Amino acid sequence: MEDIHLAAVILKIFLRELPEPLLTYQLYNDIVNLASASPRYLITFLAQVSANSEVNKMTNSNLAVVFGPNLLWGRGNAIGPNFTRTLLDQHHLVFT
């Protein structure tokens, strides 16, 4: 794929148009209280993207802003970006 930004935009639009967040309402409390979890491939992928942030400019913070609101949202509550940033910052601890 020649335009990696296009792939990111398509993924973001897909996630945004889901009727429920990818990490569903039913899982919301469990996720907020996350103590340990099995590896989540999307977070691992985003961590790999962030590892190349010198080239692609997609730091954990930037990825959290772009994907966080589309991965997790509560009813009337916007913790997605903060939660996503924490997951990306600590993915090596959370998913080991």
Q: Given this model, what pLDDT does residue 76 score?
A: 67
Q: Tell me phi and psi for residue 77, to 5 degrees.
A: -135, 130
Instruction: Please list the rounded mean pLDDT of every run of 10 residues in the chain (96 residues).
Output: 79 87 79 57 84 92 84 68 83 75
Q: Given this model, what pLDDT does residue 51 score?
A: 93
Beta carbons within 10 angstroms of residue 72's beta carbon: 25
Q: Given this model, what pLDDT does residue 32 score?
A: 66
Which pTM was predicted?
0.54
